[in-house]
Amino acid sequence: MDNKIKLRNAGLRPTKQRIIIADILLNGFNRHFTAENLQNEISISGNKMSIATVYNCLKKFKNAGLIKQVESYTDTAIFDTNNVSHHHFLNEETGELIDIDNNEINLIKLPDIPKGFINSGVDVIIKLKKNN
């Protein structure tokens, strides 16, 4: 499907910047990335885009359900093109995320949800470090 159509179907106007980002991210391959990684890829592709514009586009993509932001323990936001519910290993040394299939995690019991809230998802992140 054409990325302009994907953007329109997600309720987004296909601006030049959004199309550039969609062409990089919505190619059928799942990946983890930061805004800075994406800005570098945009530059390599021969285009220019400020980091603020990249973040604004990513926020719109996230709100439209095209990507998700992975909860991480770093100051840098990490995004994921895989919208299917799944979990991650986090390499604490490099910041790299590795997908874990839902079938590989067995959660027997979750705590009671505080009054006034609903469960909007469960993300398991298993932190890894080298065994020295």
Residues 26 and 79 sit within 8 Å (Cβ to Cβ): no
Tens of pLDDT along 71-103? 766 677 889 999 888 899 988 888 888 999 888
**Residue showing tokens 């601006």:** 15
Residues 75 and 89 sit within 8 Å (Cβ to Cβ): no
Domain ranges, ordered by start, for the chain: 3-78, 82-128
Strand partners, 100: 87
Strand partners, 77: none
- For the entire predicted model, the pTM comes to 0.83
Which strands, in side-by-side order, build the sheet including 87-91?
Answer: 97-100, 87-91, 125-128
| pLDDT value of residue 34 | 92
The CATH number for 3-78, chosen from 1.20.120.790, 1.10.10.10, 3.40.50.300, 2.40.50.140, is: 1.10.10.10
* Cα atoms in the Cβ-side hemisphere of radius 13 Å centred on 97: 27
Relative to beta strand 97-100, strand 78-80 is unpaired
